[in-house]
Amino acid sequence: MSGAGKTTIGRLVEAELRTTHPGTVYLDGDMLREVWGEQTGHDIAGREVNAGRISRLCAMLDQQGLDVVAAVLSIFPDWQAWNRATFSSYFEVFLDAPMDVLRARDTKGLYAAAAAGNESNVVGVDIPFPRPAAPDLVLDTSGAAGSPAVLAAAILDRIRELR
């Protein structure tokens, strides 16, 4: 969810992968919304359209032999299953942090705005967040398991095991 560390950890993973796999692409959910514009909105229907766009873009890049690090909020089990069935290699990481930690971080001010009644369609507040059914790796990003660099290293270790 917002504030879990997707961007920070994803960038670290991408930078390290790029040293041995120059054809590594980094995609971030916020970055892609900026590229595509706000035409989909942040309600559940808009989020599902966006999830489909991201998955299809990743599939296109995968078909071209590129490694993709996609740092995105994923709330649609059907798209997660589609990714696993479609990509040549799919590795799903769930960055898990308790809601009280995410609210304390509130890097985008979303949780405070939602609490004040100024923001709606916030995942974990008024849009349910279904925990992923079968992630390949779950990392505690509350701070107890280490720094973002330590967590990124854990992801990279698992990726290396799979290659």
Other Cβ atoms within 10 Å of 152 Cβ, number: 24
Burial of 70 (0-12, 13-18, 19+ CB in 10 A): buried
Which amino acid, one-letter code, is at 147?
S
What whole-number distance in Å separates Cα of residue 76 and Cα of residue 82? 10
Which residues are tagged catalytic? 74
Phi-psi region of 143 (alpha: psi -120 to 50; beta: other; left: phi over 0): left
